């Protein structure tokens, strides 16, 4: 959504499915008189106008010359029991590109305009059918890369985050109400400040701290992590890459320097989406192409969230291996001792600061432990087993941190005794405003525009 200055009930239409050949295509329309307008391009106009909400009507979509475009089913949804809270219709037609486009054009020629990005979800928000946490969760579900990330977004869509924020707001309101009652008696205000109990605000502060800290882990589930496979030639990087992906993506060979460029693909590490990189083996070479691949490996390593440094455990650790590992000051490294099923001669400790995992990429030995170690390292210090969904966006985190700051300040000044309770009230009211921005009770138009403009047109 970029244009927020418009008539909210204006009839809009959009293609709600991918515009590619498929079995079914959906064209979605919403707005005032949308059912009546749609009946003008339908072969059974009276049946469509008389249809009850949440029902299907069979017929044909017609063009301006009353020629049949396609045989369809039309879903009828009547306000307020629809996604947007307005009258809506959805045309379920055959999924050919020409068919879906023709149906859309028939709507556009009969009083509808093209919907903007996220306009359906925006209308659901302004009509009280959803709040901002649920609206943002719709986009998160669409973008989710694993079942776990989808499930956490679904939790926010179900209202888990809204309920948490609402509970905190009610606690703040209760404290605010008790203070304002006491302030009605100004002759006792000095004594009131002395006996003010901060215990409930301390509980609120703890809850806000937990919510604010949840963003890092939720962001990992949404965006994933960059995991780069590094090591000398023939250490088994491509074999591990294939094993982690459970498919043959990289060429595996005993010939050194087989991988000259890097490959990448998404993998699922216990529900965490991981962008996995297979890279060229690290070695000195006169081959210009392979040398460029080695430089790219080093560049990717510097941008990684975790480096998996593979070592051939049938050989001694080289000075180059140790040097590479020790030089990674800003990126955590896991030393992966590959070929553990063969005659391993490697027994020395690489570094006390580096996690070591023994595997066999070819036989799949130790892979589960490796995946778990990567996830543990990424979530180090974080509460990743939080039952309820945490914060789903940087916007939400910013507002929760602002509320936390105001609550912390309210506790501080109430304990200091330097200010009257009016100052505490102001802090609590500011905290409520910040929490209201999370759910959309208090939200500037520019924030709304930023949120909904990232949606696809059909949502």
Q: What is the largest CA-CA distance in the chain?
A: 89
Nearest to 356 by CA among 336, 386, 333: 336
CA-to-CA dists, residue 357 to 141, 182, 281, 309, 334, angstroms: 34, 63, 20, 10, 7
- Examine the pLDDT at 34 and tell me if it is beyond 80: yes
Q: Retrieve residue 297's tokens.
A: 């490996």
293-313, pLDDT tens digit by residue?
556 666 677 788 999 988 888
C-alpha span between 425 and 182 (Å, rounded): 12
pLDDT, mean of residues 241-248: 82
pLDDT greater at residue 456 or residue 169: 169
Nearest to 340 by CA among 320, 321, 324, 363: 363
Q: Would you place residue 367 in the very low, low, confident or very high pLDDT band (cuts 50, 70, 90)?
A: very high
Q: Would you place residue 407 in the very low, low, confident or very high pLDDT band (cuts 50, 70, 90)?
A: very high
pLDDT greater at residue 238 or residue 62: 62
- Examine the pLDDT at 193 and tell me if it is beyond 70: no
Cis check: omega of the bond before 80, within 30 degrees of 0: yes
Neighbours of 226 (CB within 10 A): 18
C-alpha span between 298 and 283 (Å, rounded): 11
pLDDT, mean of residues 227-253: 77
- Examine the pLDDT at 390 and tell me if it is beyond 80: yes
- Examine the pLDDT at 453 and tell me if it is beyond 70: no
Which pLDDT score is estimated for 84? Answer: 94
Q: Would you place residue 321 in the very low, low, confident or very high pLDDT band (cuts 50, 70, 90)?
A: confident
Which pLDDT score is estimated for 98? Answer: 97
Q: Retrieve residue 209's tokens.
A: 């701290």
C-alpha span between 308 and 297 (Å, rounded): 12
Which pLDDT score is estimated for 163? Answer: 93
What is the average pLDDT score of the chain? 83
Which pLDDT score is estimated for 320? Answer: 75
pLDDT greater at residue 275 or residue 253: 275
Q: Do the beta carbons of residue 391 and residue 408 sit within 8 Å?
A: no
Q: Retrieve residue 247's tokens.
A: 């498919």
- Examine the pLDDT at 399 and tell me if it is beyond 50: yes
Q: Do the beta carbons of residue 259 and residue 241 sit within 8 Å?
A: no
- Examine the pLDDT at 251 and tell me if it is beyond 50: no
- Examine the pLDDT at 229 and tell me if it is beyond 80: yes
Three-state DSSP string of the chain: CCCCCCCCCCCEEEECCCCCCEEEEEEEEECCCHHHHHHCCECCHHHHHHCCCCEEEEEEEECCCCCEEEEEEEEEECCCCCCCCCCEEEEEEEECHHHHHHHHHHHHCCCCEECCCCHHHHHHHHCCCCCHHHHHHHHHHHHCCCHHHHHHHHHHHCCHHHHHHHHHHHHHHHHHHHHHHHHCCHHHHHHHHHHCCCHHHHHHHHHHHHHHHHHHHHHHHHHCEEEEEEECCCCCHHHHHHHHHCCCCCCCCCCCCCCCCCEEEEEEECCEEEEEEECCCCCCCCCHHHHHHHHHHHHHHHCCCEEEEEEECCCCCCHHHHHHHHCCCCCCEEEEEECCCCCCCCCCCCCCCCEEEECECCCCECHHHHHHHHHHHHCCCCCCCCCCCCCCCHHHHHHHHHHHHHHHHHHHHHHHCCCCHHHHHHHHHHHHHHHHHHHCCCCCHHHHHHHHCCCCCCC
Which pLDDT score is estimated for 262? Answer: 66
User: What percentage of residues in the chain have a pLDDT greater than 90?
Assistant: 45
pLDDT, mean of residues 94-107: 96
Q: Retrieve residue 69's tokens.
A: 């475009």
Q: Which of 191-205, 339-353, 372-386 has the lowest mean pLDDT?
A: 339-353
Highest mean pLDDT among 105-109, 132-136, 295-299, 349-353: 105-109
119-160, pLDDT tens digit by residue?
999 999 989 999 989 988 988 998 898 999 999 999 999 999
- Examine the pLDDT at 417 and tell me if it is beyond 80: no
pLDDT, mean of residues 435-459: 70
Which pLDDT score is estimated for 55? Answer: 97
Which pLDDT score is estimated for 260? Answer: 44
Q: Do the beta carbons of residue 443 and residue 437 sit within 8 Å?
A: yes
C-alpha span between 104 and 91 (Å, rounded): 10
43-61, pLDDT tens digit by residue?
999 999 999 999 999 999 9
Q: Retrieve residue 11's tokens.
A: 């009839």
């Amino acid at each position: 959504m970029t244009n927020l200055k418009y008539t909210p009930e204006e009839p809009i239409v959009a293609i709600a499915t991918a515009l590619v050949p498929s079995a079914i295509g959906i064209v979605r329309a919403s707005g005032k008189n949308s059912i009546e307008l749609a009946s003008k391009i339908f072969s059974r106009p009276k049946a469509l106008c008389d249809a009850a909400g949440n029902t299907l009507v069979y017929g044909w979509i017609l063009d301006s010359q009353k020629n049949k475009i396609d045989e369809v089913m039309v879903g009828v949804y009547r306000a307020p029991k629809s996604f947007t809270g307005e009258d809506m219709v959805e045309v379920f037609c055959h999924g050919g590109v020409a068919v879906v486009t023709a149906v859309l054009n028939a709507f556009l020629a009969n009083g509808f305009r093209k919907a903007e990005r996220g306009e359906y979800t925006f209308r659901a928000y302004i009509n009280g059918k959803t709040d901002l946490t649920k609206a943002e969760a719709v986009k998160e579900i669409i973008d989710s890369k694993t079942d776990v990330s989808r499930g956490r977004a679904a939790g926010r869509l179900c209202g888990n985050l809204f309920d948490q924020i609402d509970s905190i707001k009610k606690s703040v309101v209760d404290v605010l109400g008790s203070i304002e009652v006491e302030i009605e008696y100004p002759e006792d205000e000095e004594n009131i400040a002395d006996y003010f109990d901060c215990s409930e605000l301390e509980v609120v502060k703890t809850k806000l701290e937990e919510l604010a800290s949840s963003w890092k882990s939720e962001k990992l589930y949404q965006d994933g992590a960059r995991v780069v496979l590094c090591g000398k030639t023939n250490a088994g990087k491509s074999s591990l890459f294939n094993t982690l992906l459970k498919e043959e993506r990289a060429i595996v060979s005993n010939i050194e320097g087989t991988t000259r460029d890097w490959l990448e693909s998404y993998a699922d590490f216990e529900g965490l989406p991981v962008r996995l990189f297979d890279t060229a083996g690290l070695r000195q070479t006169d081959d210009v192409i392979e040398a460029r691949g080695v430089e790219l490996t080093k560049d990717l390593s510097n941008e990684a969230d975790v480096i998996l440094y593979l070592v051939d455990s049938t050989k001694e650790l080289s000075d180059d291996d140790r040097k590479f590992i020790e030089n990674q000051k800003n990126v955590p490294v896991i030393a992966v001792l590959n070929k553990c099923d063969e005659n391993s001669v490697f027994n020395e400790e690489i570094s006390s600061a580096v996690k070591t995992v023994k595997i066999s990429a070819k036989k799949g030995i130790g892979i589960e432990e490796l995946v778990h170690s990567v996830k543990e390292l990424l979530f180090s210090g974080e509460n990743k087993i939080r039952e309820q969904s945490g914060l789903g966006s940087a916007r939400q985190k910013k507002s929760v941190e602002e509320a936390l700051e105001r609550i912390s300040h309210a506790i501080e000044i109430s304990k200091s005794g330097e200010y009257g309770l009016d100052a505490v009230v102001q802090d609590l009211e500011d905290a409520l405003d910040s929490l209201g921005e999370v759910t959309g009770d208090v939200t500037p138009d520019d924030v709304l525009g930023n949120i909904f403009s990232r949606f696809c047109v059909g949502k």
